[in-house]
A and B are shown apart, each in its own frame.
Chain A
Amino acid sequence: MPRSASKIGAAFAVLALVAVLLAGLLRSRPHYAGTNAVRAQQLVAPLKPGRTVCQKGELVPFKASTVEVSVATRGQPGPPLTAELRRGGRVLARGSRRGGYRDGLVAIPIPVVRKTLVGVDVCLRATAGVPAQLYGQVNGQGKLVIGRRSVPGVFRIAYMRPGRESWLALAPTIAHRFAQAKTRVATPFTLWLLLVAVVGVAGLAVRAAVSDDDDEAVA
């Protein structure tokens, strides 16, 4: 009796966990296409109406659909912003957003980037309203240009993917990311193989834990 009860109990537990896992995997939310990995920890550049702030040499990832920056507005409504991606004097993409936001993350929509771009200048400009400031780190050199003046510091940038996606829909992208900057053994296929192996061995373990096999006498 206890053995069949343990099997039933384990089966219900597995079913409940699979249900929770599926619910988590199927829930849609916005996901990042990439960030420049800069911490939003210090105020690095003012956003004054009419003056452009550019960050040089950025990598803009495939499928970026917004430029997201971290802005301090001192509790005031933030100014309208425009963002431009420039390279070699050419504007690759442009976007804008209305003002009125408060301190925190501010996303400026841009046309979806169709392939990863390198060496891009990301330029921001407040078009009206009260001044605001960009968050980033003060220790960067040669990255930040305000007007025509190069200043120390680097501001935080993140790029969102278009729309909302579930983790399941994002899975092929995750598998691609998993394979970057690692041993050549790590390929997208390897990730799927690992997941199967990990779930498989968990299944074996649960089966063994509820098994009636008591023949493993102490040697």
Chain B
Amino acid sequence: MRRRLHSVPRAAWLCALVAVVNGIAWSLLVPPLQSFDETVHVYYGQFFAETYNVPRPIPGSVLSEDELAIVNGVKLFDVVGNTDGHPPWTEVEDDGLDKALVSGLGRVSQGADGGVGAYPPLYYALGAIGYKLSPWESLLDRLEAMRLASVLLAGLTALFVCLFARELVPRPVWAWRAAGLVAAFQPIFGFLSGVFNPDMGIAAGSAVLFYGIARAWRRGLTLRLGVLIGAALAGAFLSKLAAAGFVPGAALAVLLLAWRQKAYRGLFSFAAAAGVPVLVYMALNKFLWDRPLLLGGGGVASGGPPKPGNFKEMLTYVWESFLPRLPFMQDRFVYDFPLWDRYMRGWVGKFGWGDYQFPEWVAIVTAVVLSLLLIAAIALAVRHWGAFVRRWPEWLSYAGLALGMLFLLGYTGYGWKRDTGTDFEQGRYLLPLMALYAGLIAAGLRGLGARAGPVIAGLLVVAAASHSIWAQLMTIARFYG
């Protein structure tokens, strides 16, 4: 184990350090509950920590009295979506909240749905450990301890994203090193690494998954790598059901690996490592927690499957979520183009409950830079066409993973829109694909050549670090300025 840790390059540790330091900063900068759906995620974490049980898709009370005191004390819903509003700035309000929190309020609700009644518990269990380890009993302190679970997962994510870039483009060193650092500074990743949200669980699981597959393509699908890939998939899935989008791609990747390398032991170890935890989870749902086996009960809001609808309509929705509408298609997005307005702009940086973001020109500059890197990566593939084509099963693996996730996002968005009338698409849902983001940057930098590449790599890291600091300053201005 120690030898393995020593073999991890310093740059990968630096990526993890960047993520951890920024995660801690974000965890303290973002006021309590001021991030996407953090109210219900904290509810789940607290409920799990207090009862060793999980919420269920049933009617009843959701937030504990403790948490409701914070919701009111920080004026949560006066501030969300209201740029004029801000959390308490005065000691009078601070004292009032502290007094409320030590007045013996209830810490357990009836454990009802709240939109998370069918969510898997792995990420929340990590948060519950933080909750239990907190030396203080105030929920404000325990919330910070829960957020640190995200910080640790962010470090893990950044480490494995960097290692994935290294497996994909091992030479030159500056290319994967810069790619890992750029990913570690990504602002929406930083923001989510400092709040309590299962997006960080799936981000960490998917980073390990991509790394495991890339490593298996280079070194062979060993028993251990099979276990790593399977466990990563199961970990991501048991953190957030959206990881179901990776199942077809991961299965395809491992089948291709086993077929090409005649490594069938790795295939079985993958299946066992992926399947057993999920089967245990299903059994717990059925026999201990009285919940649906995997999905359902809570509807789309609980990560359940959308009701069956018009198949053609759904396919059109999925297509138009990411690609321009074709002439024969009905316009599903009259007011915007989700790939740009929701995914790209959200990815570049949309924070809080989505009520403040970077100006659009930042997204335009980012898109131009990424497009240039994509062109450079394609040029690299053309220059080394033979070597590129020989790796076709590996490319197919990554394509399977990415397309599976994008399809699931489109499919879920279709059901969500139909059932709730609101928009589903957000940039943060692309976090599970962060390894490919780093891979694109590494390949693009290498494609720029040995003269321009290192210069652009240095500039990109400066730009990414500034982007991250700017996001934090914007958050300070939003809530404290």
Chain A residues in contact with chain B, CB under 8 A?
1-3, 5-7, 9-10, 13-14, 17, 31, 34-35, 37-40, 59, 61-62, 116, 118, 156, 158, 167, 170, 174, 176-186, 190-191, 194, 197-202, 204-206, 208-210, 213-214, 216, 218-219
Report yes or no: B31 in contact with A182, Cβ–Cβ below 8 A: yes
Which residues from chain B contact A7 at a C-beta distance below 8 Å? Answer: 458
Q: Smallest CB–CB gap between A34 and chain B, Å?
A: 6
From residue 76 to 91 of chain B, which have CB atoms closer than 8 A to chain A?
78-79, 82, 84-91
Q: Smallest CB–CB gap between B454 and chain A, Å?
A: 4
CB-nearest residue of chain B to A216? B9
**Could you tell me the distance between the alpha carbons of A131 and B462 in the complex, rounded to whole angstroms?**
56
Report yes or no: B177 in contact with A180, Cβ–Cβ below 8 A: no
Report yes or no: B84 in contact with A202, Cβ–Cβ below 8 A: no
B438 within 8 A of A: no
Report yes or no: A6 in contact with B140, Cβ–Cβ below 8 A: no
8 Å CB contact of B29 from A6, A116, A194, A216: A194
Which residues from chain A contact B472 at a C-beta distance below 8 Å? Answer: 198
Which residues from chain A contact B244 at a C-beta distance below 8 Å? Answer: none
> Known contacts A13-B462, A179-B94; can you find 8 more A-B pairs with CB under 8 A?
A10-B461, A39-B84, A177-B480, A180-B94, A182-B28, A183-B28, A184-B138, A209-B177
**Could you tell me the distance between the alpha carbons of A201 and B22 in the complex, rounded to whole angstroms?**
9
Which residues from chain B contact A118 at a C-beta distance below 8 Å? Answer: 92
Report yes or no: A183 in contact with B140, Cβ–Cβ below 8 A: yes
Which of A183, A197, A218 has its CB near the most chain B CB atoms (within 10 A)? Answer: A183
Which of A1, A3, A209 has its CB near the most chain B CB atoms (within 10 A)? Answer: A209
8 Å CB contact of A202 from B79, B457, B468, B476: B468
Report yes or no: A35 in contact with B84, Cβ–Cβ below 8 A: yes
Report yes or no: B90 in contact with A34, Cβ–Cβ below 8 A: yes
Which residues from chain A contact B78 at a C-beta distance below 8 Å? Answer: 37-39
Report yes or no: B144 in contact with A3, Cβ–Cβ below 8 A: no
CB-nearest residue of chain B to A7? B458
8 Å CB contact of B25 from A158, A170, A198, A205: A198
8 Å CB contact of A180 from B91, B172, B466, B469: B91
Chain B residues in contact with chain A, CB under 8 A?
7-11, 14, 17-18, 21-22, 24-25, 28-29, 31-32, 73-75, 78-79, 82, 84-94, 97, 136, 138, 140-141, 143-144, 166, 170-174, 177-178, 181, 184-185, 450-455, 457-463, 465-466, 468-469, 472, 476-477, 479-481
Report yes or no: A37 in contact with B94, Cβ–Cβ below 8 A: no
**Could you tell me the distance between the alpha carbons of A177 and B465 in the complex, rounded to whole angstroms?**
25
Instruction: Knowing A6-B458, A37-B82, A205-B465 are in contact, say whether A181-B94 is a contact too (CB < 8 A).
Output: yes
**Could you tell me the distance between the alpha carbons of A38 and B83 in the complex, rounded to whole angstroms?**
10
Q: Smallest CB–CB gap between B41 and chain A, Å?
A: 17
CB-nearest residue of chain B to A9? B455
Report yes or no: B90 in contact with A62, Cβ–Cβ below 8 A: yes
Instruction: Knowing A39-B84, A219-B7 are in contact, say whether A9-B89 is a contact too (CB < 8 A).
Output: no
**Could you tell me the distance between the alpha carbons of A191 and B90 in the complex, rounded to whole angstroms?**
17
**Could you tell me the distance between the alpha carbons of A3 and B9 in the complex, rounded to whole angstroms?**
20
CB-nearest residue of chain B to A34? B89
Report yes or no: A184 in contact with B11, Cβ–Cβ below 8 A: no
**Could you tell me the distance between the alpha carbons of A95 and B336 in the complex, rounded to whole angstroms?**
47
Which of B84, B90, B141, B455 has its CB near the most chain A CB atoms (within 10 A)? Answer: B90
